Structure 1
Amino acid sequence: MRRLLLLRHGKADRHSAGGDRERPLTRRGLEDSRLIGAFLAGEGVTPDLAVASNARRAKQTLEKVLEAFPGHVTHLIENSIYLASVDHLLDTLRQAPEKISTLLVVGHNPGFAELACALAGTGARENLARMQAKFPTGALAILDFSAGGWADIDMGAANLHRFVTPAELRGGEEDPD
């Protein structure tokens, strides 16, 4: 089994003097990223590899999530997933090393929401409906594939194991983006 953790970056400032790629996380974005990391660690889900877009907000999200894991998690920055299309994201996932069973990828909408919805062929109706309705900042889709390797993953082939938002973990209503 292959497990894909698709994580949209945390809540970010609306503007940055350095442009869109340099927008930092807000305080809530930092806290929510730690919360998602704690959720993953608490569920016993540790990525074998973590990849983030080169946007500052995605790198900060990854950094805060990885603080929840006591051991080192191999991670890298992938420039090409910044605001990438669904097709490009799928091609990138298919290139993941075969030794990786759990892959965490941190990136951006609309590509991540569209990819998660396209990959999820099965799953609990409530989770699928929530994910299709809104993929807010800090949202995490946990997708399981029975396919042999990453090169074999395809649209509709995943089971949506969980869809988690920071607001849900905080016990509150969804925050407006």
Structure 2
Amino acid sequence: MKRLAVLRHAKSDWGDAQIDDHNRPLNERGWKAARCMGRELKQRGIKFDLVLASTAARVRETLDGLREKYDFGSAPIQFEPLMYTAGEAELLSLVRDLPESVHAPLLVGHNPGLEQLVKNLTRDDGRGLRGRIAHKYPTAAFALVELPAHRWADVESGSGELVELILPKDLD
């Protein structure tokens, strides 16, 4: 069994049209959501042994906000340029290429790729978690997917179960 965590960056600031998309920072709501998510991950005891993240400023700041309330411990944070524009196929390829020494990875990036990845990896569950993100995977949303694979290379679409879903609106 493999466990994959997926976090969309927190809400970004669209106030300055001069800033290119890659360098767009978080707004105040985004900083608050990132801190709340960090506190919630800590309370739930969720741990990671690798963080694979987009290079965008809003992703880096989301991680900074998380770190204010959550300790990543010895989990390395690797910034992957491909994740900035990655669609579902590229993200699935990154997952399948994870080293077998990684047991609890966290992907931090952008929509629509992350939303498509979570939906395509999972099947409907009895608790209705997948249904809650069927039409929108909001900013700062966190999903934990259990995948019935022994190796990352064997992860298949539609095989996983969404076992944790944390949405910022549920934390207010």
Unpaired segments ≥5 residues, structure 2: none
How many pairs does the alignment contain?
A: 170
**What is aligned with 1:149?**
151
Q: Tell me by how many angstroms 1:70 deviates.
A: 6.5
Q: Tell me by how many angstroms 1:43 deviates.
A: 1.2
TM-score w.r.t. structure 1 length?
0.90
**What is aligned with 2:51?**
50
Alpha-carbon distance between aligned partners in 2 of 1:36 and 1:60, rounded to the nearest angstrom: 13
Measured on the aligned residues, the alpha-carbon RMSD in Å equals 1.5
1:115 aligns with 2:117: yes
**What is aligned with 1:173?**
none
Unpaired segments ≥5 residues, structure 1: 171-177
1:86 paired residue among 78, 85, 88: 88
Instruction: Tell me if the contact between 2:48 and 2:72 (Cα under 8 Å) persists in the aligned partners.
Output: no
Give me the identity figure in percent.
Answer: 35
Alpha-carbon distance between aligned partners in 2 of 1:144 and 1:95, rounded to the nearest angstrom: 17
Alpha-carbon distance between aligned partners in 2 of 1:35 and 1:105, rounded to the nearest angstrom: 18
Residues 69-78 or 148-157, more deviating: 69-78
SS in 2 for 1:104: strand
**What is aligned with 2:26?**
25
Q: Tell me by how many angstroms 1:162 deviates.
A: 1.6
The CA deviation string for residues 23-78 of structure 1, in whole angstroms up to 9 with x for no partner, is 00111111111111221121111110011101100111122223411633211100
The aligned amino acid for 1:3 is: R
Q: Tell me by how many angstroms 1:116 deviates.
A: 0.6
Q: Tell me by how many angstroms 1:122 deviates.
A: 4.2
Q: Tell me by how many angstroms 1:91 deviates.
A: 0.3
Instruction: Tell me if the contact between 2:143 and 2:164 (Cα under 8 Å) persists in the aligned partners.
Output: yes
Instruction: Tell me if the contact between 1:122 and 1:158 (Cα under 8 Å) persists in the aligned partners.
Output: no
SS in 2 for 1:115: helix
The CA deviation string for residues 97-116 of structure 1, in whole angstroms up to 9 with x for no partner, is 11111111111011111111
**What is aligned with 1:12?**
12
TM-score w.r.t. structure 2 length?
0.92
Structure 1's 145 and 53: CA in aligned 2 closer, same or farther, altered over 3 A?
Answer: same
Alpha-carbon distance between aligned partners in 1 of 2:157 and 2:72, rounded to the nearest angstrom: 34
Instruction: Tell me if the contact between 2:123 and 2:130 (Cα under 8 Å) persists in the aligned partners.
Output: no
